Every structure is written in C-alpha cells, then in structure tokens.
Amino acid sequence: MKGVYNYFHRDMLKWFRGKVTVVSTLIMPAAWLIFVGLTLPVTFTGNYLDFITPGILVMTVFNASMLGGSLLIFDKILGSMNKFFALPVPRESILFGKICFIICRGLLQATIILIVAILIGATILRPEQYLLTYFVLALFGILFAAIGNTIALLVGDTDSYGAVNSMISMPLFFASSALMPYNVMPGWLRPIAELNPLSYAIDAIRALMGGTIMWTSIGLLAVMSAIVLGICVMVFQRASCD
C-alpha cells in the first residue's frame, strides 16, 4: 500500500504543478454542464438539470479515466518506468497508484460539477445520496481507468492511443442515456444505450438522486470493474517483463 500511495502522490504532485492543466481540467466539465444543461433543447418535462447532471458526471469521470492511459505511455517514453521497475516494491503498485490518481482526479472534477449544478438550479440531495453517487463514480472510474491503461499498454504510443480513445469515447457517450431518456430515443439506439456501461452508471446515479438504489446496475459495474482490472494487471505484468 505504501508503494501505491507513493506512485499516487507522485502523479498528484505532477498534476498540481501544472496550474493551467488543473484549472482547465476543473473548469471544462462545469462549462459542459452550464451550456448543455441550460441550452440543449429536448423533449423533457421536469428539471432538465437534474436529468443531465448524472450524464455530465459520468462523462467527466469517463474522460478522466480514458486520458489516464497516456500517463503510463509518457512514463515509458521518458524512461521513468524502467527506474520504477528497479525499485523494491511490487510492480503492480505503479498501475494501482495511477488508477487511484485517475479516480481521485475524476472525483474532484465531479465535485465541481455537483457544486455548479446546485448553484444553477439542480436539486440538493441528502448526504447519503452524494456518498453513494461518489461510490458509483469510483466503480465506473476503476472500470474505464483499467480499460484506458490496458489500451495504453497494448498500443504503446501516444498517437495510436489518442486515435483509439477518440474512436470509442464519443460513440459511447452519444449512444448512452446521458442526454435523453430512453423513451425519446430512436428505436435502433435504445437497445444499444441500455447495454452501454455508461448508461449503467448514469441510470444508477439518476435513481440514487430519486431515492432508489439500482443494485443490478451497481453490481454489474462492480463485476465488470473486477474483470477488466484483472485483465489490466495481467497485461501490465507481461509488459513489465519485456
């Protein structure tokens, strides 16, 4: 655990030293919420901010998780990884430390979104609802941080990683329940959205905000996170032996 914390602390320090990066990372999701939540026309009755906020939360953690794979690539390119491998700590600590950092960064962004959402008219929830929302976001972050790092280990360079990231990010977002309810989706899109992991997290958070716990969606996220994390560890172990 000490090794995991040290690698987590290293990445956190690097992030905070880039003040422009920190500010832009925290402001952009809030801008998404303001411009999408207040201006996007949709066939919807009720408070659209309450509807759109879970989608923006999940998309923010999703982006933070997928971009996290580039950290591993840069460490390999700059030669830091070889130095880490020579240290007397389990090599998997590097991977777990990065995943912890990615999740923490995503949850910080999510906090900004929740604050802005309340300021512009979203419903204020009970403390336990916020805690469960963070739990769902953390599970979701583990899932896609593991996916992002696995892709980074397999492709090995920033250009290829960026291309794969772009190829899967937008389709997953727009083929989810982030922007519109299922009942107004085209017939061909609805079954795709219902099977989308982003929709599991979005629907679970919407249900939490309404006072209901969707154990099935949360359980599916937990199972998928455990499976993909295990695959990521195996890929990392093989890559570390090269």
pLDDT band at 145 (very low <50, low <70, confident <90, very high): very high
- Per domain, the residue ranges of the chain are 2-240
List pLDDT tens digits, range 178-189: 878 888 888 888
Which has more confidence, 139 or 88? 139
How far, in Å, are 78, 85, 127, 164 from residue 48 at the CA level? 45, 49, 22, 32
3-state secondary structure of 230: helix
Quote the percentage of the chain above a pLDDT of 90: 28
The residue with tokens 């992991």 is 197
For residue 233, how many other CB atoms are within 10 A of its CB? 17
How far, in Å, are 102, 141, 195 from residue 167 at the CA level? 21, 19, 18
DSSP summary character for residue 124: P
Give the integer Cα–Cα distance in Å for 221 and 14. 30
Residue-level pLDDT at 174 = 86
211: left (phi over 0), alpha (psi -120 to 50) or beta: left
List pLDDT tens digits, range 70-113: 878 887 777 777 677 667 777 778 888 889 999 998 998 899 88
Which has more confidence, 174 or 238? 174
CB 65 within 8 A of CB 144: yes
For residue 21, how many other CB atoms are within 10 A of its CB? 12
Say which residues have a Cβ less than 8 Å from residue 225's Cβ, sequence separation at least 6: 139, 140, 142, 143, 146
